[in-house]
Structure 1
């Protein structure tokens, strides 16, 4: 009762819209059910997001408990795929979670996706090839889930876990913003997600399907109703040309200046480390 009344005070007195529950995998399940009912009565759209590290997220992300949880499986898959130059790893995780097969376990759920946070090394420190920052964020905003950007990482700042300062090395005080080209790219990706149009609906709610998987490149599809976006990622410092029947026709090049319409002949050329979002016209 004390905890629930504390939540009421935060919601009614300070206007919060949700809670992030630390170590949610260790919380009492009945308490989470009670918290869910209580917060829905406070605000119908109050959101509950839990920290989970492993296991079956469905056990606590469901209609009775939490709305979402941290997707540590795909966090590991993201940086590891770029470091090992093996896009099969992240492609497997994304299909296992969100693909179209009956055994894909998280279809229709919106897990919290991230490339770093306050508990793990900054992406700029854990990546072997720092040029992969751009394609890694392109993957993050293109894949299913709720993309979350940790403060300072939109500028590409480093941060190692451990050492004499412990985790506080990951949580520095920053004197002032330091935007750069990476910041502008992430801002562009965020605008695509937050728009009220067909591309945003596909990226936010669309089904996931692998189209072409290579060690160094990945092409996948996000489709929702009549909207289809193809996400193409090149993880290395060499050009690459995708070939696929899905790349035949007219597309809006969402990340290009002024989002032009392009005609593709069944293939797509990518520059080194390039990311393309293509909305079928």
Structure 2
């Protein structure tokens, strides 16, 4: 049997070979770490029937069902799909999009993380590439998803401002700011040093008098890597304030990787090999909305 198995095809369909001959761990599809109770019940049933009665929770919010016989793969996939559970992917393609719970659940959240993760999933999940490519979305500066570990990370941020006419000089914002960007003079009111601000939005959430306000956006990091070699993804761009720009930048990043990477080369190494300045220009042009045709004409 082993000689007739197309392992690459199985891997593309979310099946990874185990050390046990003929046994595979089947990865199911998740988006942003969310699953319905019905989906979980389906996975439990399949694990009991075809596996060893347990599942493995991966480090990237995935669920894998170990000990699936290669002969049972088709029927297992069919039963999962009948219960609303598509299978995931492995190999050189866009992987599961991870996300924290974001502002819909978490008091610290600044953005709707699941909404962004779902859009990334619809646009990119499973896309064939020279190597794997990972998206991660986190709601705030607390960075529960460690976005800088991803090829493309998104973190909630907020551009803030203060209205001294509304300020009651209570000093709550000064105590809340961990980066000493805010000072208070009882006579003149609040002073805000924009250069020290990290866009965390804590002052807006803490102010009891609505003197602070802010516009939420997206802090993007690119080229993160956490494996045999470790690199922290870099933020090449200012705070992105709209989804159209966010997805335009994501399109540019993944297209750059698809067009420039060598087989089995991770995104970070493609950036380094082709020249970071070249990549910065591509990304910044996408941020500004500059089309390639415009570059040629202008």
TM-score under structure 2 length normalisation: 0.28
Q: Which of these two proteins has the greater Rg computed from alpha carbons? A: 2
